Structure 1
Amino acid sequence: MAVYATEGLIEVLIEFAEDREPQEANVPIAATPAGELEGVDGHLSGLDPETPVLTHFYLPDAAGSVNAVFGMDLGTPSGGAQARFVSHPTGPQAVTKTDDLAGIMLVAVPPWETETVAAFDRSGNRLNLVQLDAEPPVETID
């Protein structure tokens, strides 16, 4: 099974992990259907337009005050997050028992480079991570 993510998302997550070191990063990630992406490269041409591509992350501290007072998580959109990014500054490059789990896990280890990010399912089985040169559509508030 393959997991698709935009190159831009992977780069931002790596920067976030590097900034958090020596602490671990733990970030929820959402997907966009492939058919909604712009500026796509040739890898996307064979994908079904409904194939989820990881495109957005949500800062773990977003809406922390509201969550603390009211017990409501406003930092993750109502559609939820389909995946989670975690970093392991001292290893391993695997899903661990202490990680917050999601259906798809992206795990990064030093050195903080795009090649050191790997995808796993929630059981810890390694998946093929395909990075796409694509951008999600620009969202605006009316």
Structure 2
Amino acid sequence: MVFITRGLHDALLDMASEAEPERVTVVLATTPAEEFGDDVELDPETPVLTHFYLPEAGRSVRAVFGMDLGTPAGRGRAKFVSHPQGPAEPTREDDFAAAVLVAVPPWDDASMDAFDRSGTRLSLEILDAEPPRESLAND
């Protein structure tokens, strides 16, 4: 099962809708369920998809050197891809990850599914919970 916050889910669908007819590929990041406090009733170690890395970050370095500097090391075990013309499943052109979320028009709740690395459909659970606030200030 794959867990995603409502906010991230909706933001990804908006991004896909705005990019149509182009495809979108976005690296996703997780937050452990324990950091949500009482907002979610999951095992504390369960990863919840909460954030994404901007697709443009590091694009020029990747084009020249083939390295993805837009995603911090050890992050991004999940990806979101949009398929404006279908299919509603991962394709050979998609960058595979431990979990791949695929969306197709009409960009609503029913248009996104989760798959594992081998293309097997996984259950996708949308959580109405806000991820913990993060700060850049030194504590």
The TM-score normalised by the length of structure 2 is 0.90
Within the candidate set 80, 85, 94, 2:80 is matched to 85
Structure with larger RCO (C-alpha < 8 A, sep 6+): 1
Distance change >3 Å, CA 90–CA 68, structure 1 → 2: closer
Question: Using the alignment, how far apart are the partners of 2:65 and 2:87 within structure 1?
Answer: 36
Whether 2:57 is the aligned partner of 1:57: answer no
Amino acid in the other structure paired with 2:22: Q
- The Cα of 1:74 is off from its aligned counterpart by 3.0
Please provide the CA RMSD for this pair.
1.7
Secondary structure at the aligned position of 2:97 is classed as coil
The match for 1:106 is 101
Amino acid in the other structure paired with 1:8: G
- The Cα of 1:69 is off from its aligned counterpart by 6.2
The match for 2:33 is 34
**1:19-63 CA deviation, whole Å, 9 max, x = no partner?**
1110111000011000112572xxx32x11110000110111113
The TM-score normalised by the length of structure 1 is 0.88
- The Cα of 1:66 is off from its aligned counterpart by 4.7
Distance change >3 Å, CA 98–CA 137, structure 1 → 2: same
- The Cα of 1:72 is off from its aligned counterpart by 5.0
Question: Using the alignment, how far apart are the partners of 2:46 and 2:115 within structure 1?
Answer: 17
**Runs of 4+ with deviation above 2 angstroms:** 63-74
